[in-house]
Amino acid sequence: MARKITYKQAINEALAQEMARDSSVIAMGEDNVGGAGAEGEKDAWGGVLGVTKGLYGRFGDRIMDTPISESAFIGAAVGAAACGMRPVAELMFVDFMGVCFDQIFNQAAKFRYMFGGKAVTPVVIRTMYGAGFRAAAQHSQCLYSMFAHIPGLKVVVPSTPYDAKGLMIQAIRDNDPVIFFEHKVLYTLEGEVPEGAYAIPFGEADVVHEGDDVTIVTLGRMVHFARDAAQTLAKRGIDCDVIDLRTISPLDEETILESVNRTGRLVVVDESSPRCNVATDIAALVAQKAFAALKAPIEQVTPPHVPVPFSDALEDLYVPDAARIAQAVTSVMEFKR
C-alpha cells in the first residue's frame, strides 16, 4: 500500500466510496458543492477548504448546499437519519456548535433512549476544529470534550489520513450519531492509504510508539507532537507508549489501563481547553482504575484556560508542542516521592 494521499483526500475518498456503495448516504453543508444559484461554476468550492470537492460531479443532488441555518440543516440530517437515510452533514467549524447544538445533543443523541430503544439515527456530523490557522477565538476551538460529555453521541478524532478514511467509513456505517472531528492543520498531511474501502472499529486506540517508561495518551493533531517528543526522548533513554485514542466516545479504556499498568506513569496531551476536558477524563480514569500502578503524578499538557488568540506569536505559545510534552514526560520520570 504505497499510495500516499492527504488527510483531506482520505475523507473525500471515504465519502465517495460510501456514497457509491449505499444510495442512502447523502451529504450536505454550506458550500459543500458551492455555487448554488450562481452563474459560474457548479462545485465551485467543495466546502470551505475543499474536502467535498468533486462529489457533486459524481453524485449530483445527493450532495446539497444549504443556507447558513445550522440548526435547520443539521437537524434535517438528524431527522432524515431517523427516517432511513445516512446523512453526512458538515458543521463547517465546530465553533459554530452554539447555533445548532440542540439538534445534536437533545435530539440525535437522546432519541434512542427517550424512545425506548426504537430509534436508529445514523447521522454523521463532520466538523473542523483546532488552532494553527490564525483564525482566532471563534474559529480555532477544540470542543470535542463537550460532545464526549453527552451520552448517545460517538466522538471520533482521527490523526492520520489512514485513520481518517477508515474511521469515516465506520462513522457512515455506524448506526449511532457520530461527530467526526477534522483538524484543519492536518488536511494537508500525507500518509499511506489503501485504495479500497475499510472500516476502523470505534473504541480501538492505536499505539503509535512503544515504550515501557511513560504512557502518553493523546488524540488528533497532538498525536504528531507526542510522537515527535517520544522519538526525541527515546534518544535520551526514555521510552514512551504513545496512545492515539482515535475515538473518545467510545473510549478504549483497556489499552490505556494496560499501558499505564506497565509504565506506571501517565502524561495526557490534549489540544482542548483544560477544564473538564479529555485530558482530565483520561487522568481521572487512570487515577481510579490503575492507581496501584502509578509511580508519579499524572501530568496534563493542554493549552491554558484562555480563548485561542489571533496573533501567530500568541497562538504558537497557546498550542502544546513536542517540547512541552517532553518536559512533562521528563518531570514524571524525575518524580520522587
Partner 1 sequence: MSATLTRDDLLRAYRTMRTIREFEERLHVEFATGEIPGFVHLYAGEEASATGVCLHLRPDDRIASTHRGHGHCIAKGMEVAPMMAEIYGKKTGICGGKGGSMHVADLDVGMMGANGIVGGGGPLICGAALAAKMKGTDGVGVCFFGDGASNQGMILEAMNLATVWRLPALFVAENNGYAEATSSKYSVACDNIADRAGGFGMPGVIVDGHDFFAVHEAAGEAIARARAGGGPTLLEVKLNRYYGHFEGDQQTYRATDEVKRIRETRDCLMLFTRRVSSAGLLDLAELEAIDRDVAAQIDAAVVAAKAAPKPTAADLLTDVYVEYA
Ligand X SMILES: Cc1ncc(C[n+]2csc(CCOP(=O)(O)OP(=O)(O)O)c2C)c(N)n1
Applying CB under 6 A, the span of 77-85, 92-100, 128-136, 325-333 interacting with ligand X comes to 92-100
Least CB distance to partner 1 at residue 319 (A): 11
Distances (CA, A) of 52 to 121, 165, 199, 252, 300: 23, 13, 19, 30, 35
Size of the site for ligand X (CB under 6 A): 6
Active site residue 209: no
Helices (H), the chain: 7-21, 55-59, 70-82, 101, 109-114, 144-148, 161-173, 222-235, 253-263, 278-289, 312-318, 322-334
Q: Which residue from 161, 220, 157 is spatially nearest to 189, judged by alpha carbons?
A: 161
Q: Which of residues 151-180 bind a copy of itself (CB under 8 A)?
A: 151-152
68 binds ligand X (CB under 6 A): yes
Least CB distance to partner 1 at residue 14 (A): 18
Q: Which of residues 223-282 bind a copy of itself (CB under 8 A)?
A: 248-249, 251, 268, 272-273, 275-281
96 binds ligand X (CB under 6 A): yes
138 binds a copy of itself (CB under 8 A): yes
Distances (CA, A) of 230 to 158, 248, 315: 19, 22, 23
Measured from the CB atom, is 99 or 199 closer to a copy of itself? 99
Least CB distance to a copy of itself at residue 249 (A): 6
d(CA 318, CA 305): 10
Residues 154 and 125: beta-carbon distance below 8 Å: no
199 binds ligand X (CB under 6 A): no
Task: Show the cell assigned to 148.
Answer: 464526549
308 DSSP β-pair partners: none
Partner from partner 1, ligand X, a copy of itself, none binding residue 286, C-beta < 5-8 Å depending on class = a copy of itself
Positive or negative, the CA dihedral 251, 253, 254, 258 is positive
Residues 52 and 37: beta-carbon distance below 8 Å: no
Partner from partner 1, ligand X, a copy of itself, none binding residue 300, C-beta < 5-8 Å depending on class = a copy of itself
Measured from the CB atom, is 50 or 297 closer to partner 1? 50
The residue ranges that bind ligand X (CB under 6 A) are 30, 68, 70, 92, 96, 99
